């Protein structure tokens, strides 16, 4: 399977909107925005433009099949840290796309001088935890009952991180 990876750009807005809106509701439930709000999607793309969010997209043929973001900021006390989020279209899962997206993001993060990448997810998002473990992340914390899932049931929040120290392994 030939999959291409490239940085997400503002010109990808419509492609990205259709892709993310096509994902299962569960996959978007834990995002920080409502993907069905045009305003929220505009704001997302503004952050891509400003560099506050680093994005990579995966395409196959002309179709988008996955994306990954790292959110950063320039505050003096957290500028070395970035938060990662990603999703792969269900038919393409389990074929290495998520891992490749993460590796692309890490290489951009490393070039930007980030030292630590973290991710937060509901404990039920087990594929994400498996993938991040395989990439060298470790579980930093499990916050009991911090999440309501898409069915309104309480779940635990897992925080995982990858610390490059001085040397990235990606
Ligand atoms: C998490 C997600 C992005 C993984 O994408 P993917 O393309 O299926 O992942 P990959 O095929 O690259 O797998 C990467 C590694 O994780 C492992 N993995 C992936 N899904 C797994 C699962 N359900 N159970 C166990 N291991 C799994 C793979 O075996 C692989 O390890 P390997 O390289 O040693 O074989 C995808 O499942 C997804 O989009 N989930 C919904 C959204 C989500 O949870 N996002 C994460 C929020 S941070």
Q: Which domains does the chain have, with CATH numbers?
A: 4-118 (3.40.630.30)
User: Alpha carbon of 155 to those of 21, 83, 119, 140: distances in Å?
Assistant: 24, 21, 16, 17
Count of positions (residues) in the chain: 170
Confidence (pLDDT) at 1: 79
Residue with tokens 């898409």: 150
Where on the phi/psi map is residue 67: left (φ > 0), alpha (ψ -120 to 50), or beta?
A: beta
Count of CB atoms situated within 10 Å of the CB of 80: 13
Residue-wise pLDDT for 22-37, tens only, equals 999 999 999 999 999 9
Section 47-75 average pLDDT: 95
Ligand 1 atom, smallest distance to 88 CA = 39
pTM: 0.94
Ligand 1 pocket test: pick from 94, 119, 124 the residue with the most ligand atoms within 8 Å of its Cβ.
94
């Amino acid at each position: 399977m030939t999959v291409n990876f490239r940085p997400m750009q503002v010109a990808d807005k419509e492609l990205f909107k259709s892709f993310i809106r096509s994902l299962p509701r569960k996959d978007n439930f834990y995002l920080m925005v409502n993907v069905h709000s045009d305003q929220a999607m505009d704001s997302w793309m503004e952050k891509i433009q400003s560099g506050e969010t680093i994005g990579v997209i995966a395409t196959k043929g002309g179709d988008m099949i996955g994306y990954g973001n790292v959110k950063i900021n320039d505050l003096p006390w957290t500028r070395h840290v970035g938060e990662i989020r990603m999703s792969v279209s269900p038919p393409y899962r389990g074929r290495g796309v998520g891992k490749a997206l993460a590796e692309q993001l890490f290489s951009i993060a490393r070039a930007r001088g980030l030292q630590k990448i973290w991710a937060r997810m509901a404990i039920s998002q087990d594929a994400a935890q498996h993938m991040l473990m395989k990439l060298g992340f470790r579980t930093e914390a499990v916050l009991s009952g911090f999440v309501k899932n898409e069915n309104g049931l309480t779940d635990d929040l897992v925080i995982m991180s990858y610390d490059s120290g001085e040397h990235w392994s990606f």
